[in-house]
Amino acid sequence: MEQPNLNYINELSGDNLDFKNKIIGILKKELPDEIAVYSQEYINANYLLTAQSVHKLKHKISILGLEKSYYIAEEYENNLKNNSTNLNADFENILKCMQDFVSHL
Distances (CA, A) of 49 to 21, 30, 45, 55, 57: 31, 18, 9, 10, 12
pLDDT tens digit string along 72-101? 999 999 999 999 999 999 999 999 999 999
Examine residue 1 and state whether it is found in any structural domain, yes or no: no
Q: Residue 49 falls within a domain, yes or no?
A: yes
Predicted confidence band of residue 1 (pLDDT cuts 50, 70, 90): confident
How many domains does the chain fold into? Answer: 1
Looking at the domain assignment, is residue 2 inside a domain?
Answer: no
Range of the structural domain that residue 23 is part of: 7-103
Q: What is the largest CA-CA distance in the chain?
A: 45
pLDDT one-digit tens code per residue, 17-75: 999 999 999 999 999 999 999 999 999 999 999 999 999 999 999 999 999 999 999 99
In a domain, 64, yes or no: yes
